[in-house]
Homo-oligomer: A and B are copies of this chain.
Amino acid sequence: MTTQAQDNGFCCADHSGAANVAAILAAAEARARATGARLTPVRRRVLEILLQAHGALGAYDVLEKLSAEGFGSQPPVAYRALNFLVDQGLAHRIRRLNAFTACAHPGQDHRAAFLICESCDSVTEADAGAVSAALDQAAKAAGFDLARATIEAVGQCSACREAAR
């Protein structure tokens, strides 16, 4: 199974478009230098792959591309790079899809929710500010000390709904 979103002409997230990819990559590089994190070739390339995917990619999808380009060909190569990007806030893990997607707003401290389209597999990162606040509230009511949360919605994106009409 591939988890790549189909590239069917319409774009889903803010990071679509080659120009934006370059800008985000540059910003990631600058931020890495600033924080001391090392955006190595594999890591940088994985981020680029995610940015170009317009959707979430499974670790093995990423690995396949890496392998074809002369990087390592074994799972840890992909998982390490992906986990690094997630730790750095440059990518997100989509648990429902066992997949990863580039962050649409890197650098900003943001709480994200993901809107997963069942028709086209696109994954859109939405601002979860209000959702997160409500969740904080619910956790507080339960006496739970919330560290982080996963918020994933499944349904149909606007483009697919239009197309289905």
Contact = CB atoms under 8 A, between A and B. Distances in A.
Nearest to A157: B144
A126 B157 CA distance: 28
A139 B139 CA distance: 22
Interface stretch (A26-34, A44-52, A129-137): A129-137
Contacts of A126: 138-139, 141-142, 144
A118 interface: yes
A141 B141 CA distance: 28
Interface in A92-134: 95-96, 113, 115, 117-118, 124, 126-128, 130-131, 133-134
A144 to B, nearest CB: 4
A150 B96 contact: yes
A144 B158 contact: yes
B124 A130 contact: no
A134 B129 CA distance: 9
A9 interface: no
Given A95-B96, A150-B151, A150-B152, A138 B130 contact: yes
B131 A138 contact: yes
A130 B133 CA distance: 10
A38 interface: no
A147 B113 CA distance: 14
Contact of A149 (B134, B142, B154, B157): B154
